[in-house]
Structure 1
């Protein structure tokens, strides 16, 4: 080899490397190279690593002035130059001196005959914090302060007692259910009997019947006691009674009644061959409800049947204003309802979005006997659009099924609230 060539000699110490430059001496053979040694302090570290990994006895005699690289090199006594007698050929080096043994694979199927061993059982101390708490502290069956729910007759009314304490209304009155509503009383008893925690009593979805009954009892007692609202401040509208507030609220649904809203003829509504379109179903339901209202609501002027205006989608989905004659006639009927019927009507109107559906449900079910229009009929009448969409595109889980059940639960609560049966009114209190 002629000319100048550069090579590298690397000393490894962990993640650090010490490099030296090797230069070919002009006129020498290829095996003679001039190498500049590293600084003495770093050189000692490299010497120590070489002593451990290579077990070179020549390194034991090496010093900072008489450098010796490794077992492959001959080092001269001069600190300025080192003459290597062997070529710098990199050989594989091991990080440690312990060699690994090859694994001996076992034959497939295992070495032992018979069934496999049983699954390992965790140690008893290997239990999470929650499981340990449950194992040490027994959890009670229920987290409520009562054990039994009783139904008692007190002063001619049913009362629900939690052990010995009666359930009370929002106004701290006893929840007294009239004796002619035994189905309602037993249903409220079931509500409290299946309750798991006392916190559920604070959520209306767990006690729908108790909430409605509490409002009806307070409403009825306020009217009997002649309670009047507080006078309004100067410049404000006069405060209305509870009856006036409920009547005004439900009458606001008349112009936007859901059974009087008809979808347009155009729009590509889908239906299976031989089945009715959505518009046809809506018109059939609307005519049925209008006929019932014209039969049961008689105008005081004697001018004939009431006239109801449909909100036809061909003219745009806009509220259809009903006539003053129709509005005044329905208001007179609603104003004569009992507190129980008014509370039930308010709930039915909110759930169904229809005043006519709420009126028919309350009036058809407030007296026991033959019922011509029940909860299922009311739910079908006020939910035509959703049912039609489910038929076309399918049911969405946790949405349509939940709404289906919640609608019938609410309407069923109204029926229990307003329904009455012929039940003797006892004059003495007994359990």
Structure 2
């Protein structure tokens, strides 16, 4: 038979970071892959994104880690402060790199998406295609593939479907109709990138890192090309938006009196580049990250708050673990069981850690904030190595090594 006849077919729903990484991992595992994205094009939208050491290691297994490092900048000296500017704790990119082998790499989301998409095989990406899963299929029955439908009504069958279709995943609802899905966390977030802020402020941004207030925070990280990534979060009713649509003005109202460089950066921000999103999280874990021949990945499987910066990182981990399982096990059914067994406890642990940070940020009474900040300040008196080691449960994850045997996928579409 020809090579194409030997290659099982996989469909990926969603061309975000998780979906694209999954497609590349499946390509490396020997699949013929089609990626279907509902947007008309992979437009350069989004803002900054932290790629932590755990995700960089995962990308290394696909030969992409150094490329990502090449388009990223690294977190320098920084830490955690009060709105007054008083330091609570300090950290550094060098300390993280010494402990975990890599610092926190900061990239523009659109640039990472473009980098990943550039490695897809020709013709693999289909934009303007809101693929919808109809039948998850049965991995024990070679005559029952998974089936999805395209916007024009065409049906596509595949040995495997990987659904990276986001927080409000229609695929998750199909696979687990009794699951309550994600809930609103109580937080809304803003993100923006300020190009060359020194042109507006006359100087480079001041201290990097986060500032925690009462039920709110801001964060500042460097991006390549002298850009600055600013993010913020605050307790707010779900769906609330600035009355006049000007979210930069809303940020200035909320954070304009906080310590430098927050007010200066907000003044230099372009209103049309400020993104606002409510945060939803999966407080009830799924029973598995797969059903039939369909695997869930990223936010579709484990939507989490952004307070550990691990949403995209966990989706990248998902992708390489799924590809490893497909190579390391004799059948698709075994591979998907292994994927769920590996990823469900790991992603749930990271999700819960992020939720704990969210609860700390959510403290807003004066006595509660004082108690929280005192505890943070005491922790900040520890040696930096001890503070950094506290990140180990999240950062010190190592991906499985993908087998390189050409015939490792034999029987993936069989019982």
- Length-normalised TM-score, structure 1: 0.20
- Length-normalised TM-score, structure 2: 0.21
> Highest Rg: 1 or 2?
1
